[in-house]
Structure 1
């Protein structure tokens, strides 16, 4: 069958203006035009998949017939061939070598770092002060991922550089991904900022790797495990290790920081959700530090996390067909570009009634069990399932519980959204109140 073309197509520029100006409002509505809709990003033709079942085919059932798509090609000169961008046997080899760093038996130590870092952040707050919550959560996410990656003293410079540069890399990188190739060569401020941030991060991370090679000790961090990992007696080169470190930083900071900021906002503006969260945390944790063992005993907190991941996921990702593929009644030739959007799927009323309402209670075991495969993909799926998904969920639950045991965060104004690779909260101002104070 012919593939319907999405509305709002411009001559030469295609749908890029609609994507850059209307963002998720544009892509969330594409299901009205079919299960697969054609999008033109400048001269590039792509197929936007709006169906949950076809998304599951792209990610899982027929996942072996796809590789990373055009938007990832634009990142590769800067981010290398880490798990996010690599393909085929190389991707599977790197994934096998990295998996031990994210086994459940490592989570106890990571959760301790998470709880300690969240408690240190909360200890700096003062009653009644207004916090810029997205800044706090970005700082916290950088600290946690940075300490997990670089526990030794030599890694602190890398953590500081990550704190300075990583969000420039992520946000300007998405602009590049959506723009024609010539744009990244123009002397624009965003391009200069992106190039400088990449250069700084590369230099400092490679210095840390060089220092570790000279030291040779296992510091109990992720970097040590990457450098000690072997397959058939062969380890990673410095460049391979750097690519994986940068992948973990970009993938492990942005999504978690966004989710934490939005979770506190949604909890803070609903007294019913807030009181249930506090009651659960008080009963399970009390005033002691949160542990990894506590996570399983915080079901309502985990529902808040699930609903946050549903409501505020990444915008879209791309795949490319390796061979001819049939998606439903659409035949795609080898080399076709495919777009899937977690945001569009998570806001599809066919799967999530009242999709713009924040409702942790929707996540009953029955609802989750009956949810269509492909409808909820905060961490992707198939052999591309995010390796750090347990780390991220543990981090969000642990942080929520740690701060909720001490503070209430009350919004001082409605949230504003800046859409780049995901819905970023912008100027999310919340008043910090000790738990003993009333809701208003």
Structure 2
């Protein structure tokens, strides 16, 4: 059966103008044209999967028939072969070696860093001060990931460079993924900024790795876990370690910074949500700091986080078929490009009624159980599910609890969105009002 072609195709450029101009407004509506819709990104033909069932097939049940797709090919010269970009046996080997860094006992140890960092940020705020919340949350996410990655004094130099450079890498990288390859060779300001940021970050992270090898001590941080890991007696090279560090930085900072900023915004915009959150925090915590052990009791806080991950996920990811694959009524040849959009899936009214409304009560056990597999994929699925998903969710819950137990954040103007790889909040100004 022929795959229907999406509307708004331009000569030569295909659907790239619609993707860049309308972003999620374009891709969220593609389910109206079928379970699989053809997109042309310039000369590249791709198949956009719109149904949860076929998404689950791509990510899980037929996941072994796919590898990373074209957008990841464009990142590889700059981001290497970490978990985000690698395939096959190398990917599985690296994943096995990295898993100990995200075991429960390690995350419980990282939780104290998360709470301490969030509390230090909240302590700097002053009554009635207007904060650019997205900037605060970016700084917070960089600090938390940086300090859990690198606990040594030299590691703090890396954290400072990461804070300076990482968002240039993330945002300019997504623009590169959507534009023809020749554009990245032009002397444009964005290209110069991207190349300079990658060069600076690589230099400082490799210095930290070499410093650790000279010391060889387990500092309880993620870097120590990576460098101590062995598979068949062999560890990671400096380059492999750097690639995995950059993967953790790009994947771990963006998701949590966006989720934290939007969660605080939504709490401030919805008085009932704010009231219920404060009531839960007062009941569970009283006047003390939140701990990792409190998370199971913070059920409404967790619902807020789940709803934030639904409303503000990454835009899309790509896969490439390794062999002929049957997806629904379509047969895709080997080498076919497939696009999955968590944003489109999470805003599909067939599974999330009134999808643009922020509604934490969607996440009751009964409603969650009724969702089809593949409808909610903020961290992907299958063997490529984000290894740091529990880390990220723990960080957002603990930070939200830490800040909301001290402050109310009141929006001073409507939220604005800057869409790159995900819906970034832009100019999210909120007034800090003490709770006590």
TM-score of the superposition, structure 1-length normalised? 0.99
Q: Distance in 1 between matches of 2:122 and 2:39?
A: 45
Instruction: Give the CA deviation at 1:290.
Output: 1.3
Which residue is equivalent to 1:103?
A: 103
> What are the Cα deviations for residues 106-128 of structure 1, in whole angstroms up to 9, with x where unaligned?
12111100000000000000000
> What are the Cα deviations for residues 195-226 of structure 1, in whole angstroms up to 9, with x where unaligned?
00000000000000010011111111000000
Q: Distance in 1 between matches of 2:287 and 2:255?
A: 28
> What are the Cα deviations for residues 17-75 of structure 1, in whole angstroms up to 9, with x where unaligned?
10001000000000111110000111000000001100000000000000000000000
Which residue is equivalent to 1:115?
A: 115
Which residue is equivalent to 1:345?
A: 345
> What are the Cα deviations for residues 324-357 of structure 1, in whole angstroms up to 9, with x where unaligned?
0000010000000000000000000000000000
**1:295 aligned to 2:299?**
no
> What are the Cα deviations for residues 269-298 of structure 1, in whole angstroms up to 9, with x where unaligned?
111100110111111112222111111110
Equivalent residues in 2 for 1:58-137, closer than 5 Å: 58-137=58-137
Which residue is equivalent to 1:51?
A: 51
> What are the Cα deviations for residues 75-96 of structure 1, in whole angstroms up to 9, with x where unaligned?
0000000000000111000000
Q: Distance in 1 between matches of 2:216 and 2:105?
A: 23
How many residues matched? 436
Q: Which stretches of structure 1, 4 residues or longer, exceed 3 Å deviation after superposition?
A: none
CA RMSD of aligned residues (A): 0.5
Q: Distance in 1 between matches of 2:152 and 2:288?
A: 26
Paired residue secondary structure (1:58):
helix
Which residue is equivalent to 2:39?
A: 39
Q: Distance in 1 between matches of 2:37 and 2:423?
A: 23
Instruction: Give the CA deviation at 1:407.
Output: 0.4
Instruction: Give the CA deviation at 1:158.
Output: 0.4
**1:379 aligned to 2:379?**
yes
Which residue is equivalent to 1:182?
A: 182
Which residue is equivalent to 1:11?
A: 11
Equivalent residues in 2 for 1:23-422, closer than 5 Å: 23-422=23-422
Instruction: Give the CA deviation at 1:362.
Output: 1.0
Contiguous gaps of at least 5 residues in structure 2:
none
Q: Distance in 1 between matches of 2:340 and 2:367?
A: 23
Contiguous gaps of at least 5 residues in structure 1:
none
Q: Distance in 2 between matches of 1:287 and 1:202?
A: 43
Q: Distance in 2 between matches of 1:177 and 1:69?
A: 11
TM-score of the superposition, structure 2-length normalised? 1.00
Paired residue secondary structure (1:378):
coil
Which residue is equivalent to 2:22?
A: 22
Q: Distance in 1 between matches of 2:64 and 2:296?
A: 33
> What are the Cα deviations for residues 376-414 of structure 1, in whole angstroms up to 9, with x where unaligned?
000000001100000000000000000111000000011
Paired residue secondary structure (1:296):
helix
Instruction: Give the CA deviation at 1:323.
Output: 0.3
Paired residue secondary structure (2:297):
coil
Instruction: Give the CA deviation at 1:428.
Output: 0.1
Paired residue secondary structure (1:424):
strand
